[in-house]
Structure 1
């Protein structure tokens, strides 16, 4: 599987999120519940969602991932239930758009990770993916963003 991979500079984005934990099998359920809760909290506070839903992946073990999921928003959010304010960082990132079923996104992550190494970059922060299409789309698009920095010349292969 070959994807077009680019390096982009991102600005910080305010977000509204729920932090949770999910296994491979529970991710769809956890994300669906999370996105609904975040959308309600943003609407309740008169805010606007300004971009697609995302999931940012943290520590992983055999049981699953620490997860921060939600939406970028236009104004600060007050904590409401499990929903809390956060942000996506201003950073340089590797960008890849995967088109296809969600069960094939892992291959795209592997490709992006290999690309980082082959092109003299190292990951710097927790990566995230944005879901560019509504549920039920046959070939959904998933945007992968991996914060990175150029490796020092002495560390390059």
Structure 2
């Protein structure tokens, strides 16, 4: 697995924010992403990147998450949506290839590597679903970019 140091540009996500049981994340994502996309379409907000899930704090049995899409800096939230500004600066990224049932292993390898390098991750991280079920029915083809900003 390759881990890459990058410098992120600040980004803005428009999405829905909730605390969700980890066991229910996959059931939460699809209808939430569909609702966010409909809201953006209804209000003429352009999607600028793949679906994204931003995780806040330590993940236990539940997680605080914002699920949505990257938008232009001038986008404003509508209805139940929120704006989440993601930080720019140094980060470590990895690409998980395969189904979501093994993505936790990739997160663990990435966080172990960050510790081994004597780096410190920020209190949030995110996943960008570059290739997912909407693009391919084959989970072996799915690609998720894991992004860990550094503190």
TM-score, normalisation: structure 1: 0.86
Alpha-carbon distance between aligned partners in 1 of 2:88 and 2:73, rounded to the nearest angstrom: 17
Alpha-carbon distance between aligned partners in 2 of 1:68 and 1:23, rounded to the nearest angstrom: 13
Counterpart position of 2:21: 23
Aligned-partner SS, 1:127 = strand
Counterpart position of 2:31: 33
Pair 121,59 (structure 1): closer, same or farther in 2 beyond 3 Å: closer
Aligned-partner SS, 1:122 = coil
RMSD: 1.6
Alignment map for 1:1-157 (pairs within 5 Å): 3-60=1-58, 62-135=60-133, 136-139=137-140, 140-149=142-151
Deviation at residue 86 of structure 1 after TM alignment: 2.0
Report the count of equivalent residues. 147
Aligned-partner SS, 1:123 = coil
Deviation at residue 60 of structure 1 after TM alignment: 4.3
Question: Which deviates further from its counterpart, 113-122 or 70-79?
Answer: 70-79
Deviation at residue 53 of structure 1 after TM alignment: 0.6
Unaligned runs of 5+ in 1: 150-157
- Larger C-alpha radius of gyration, 1 or 2? 1
Unaligned runs of 5+ in 2: none
TM-score, normalisation: structure 2: 0.89
1:100 touches 1:138 (CA, 8 Å); kept in 2?
A: yes
Aligned-partner SS, 1:121 = coil
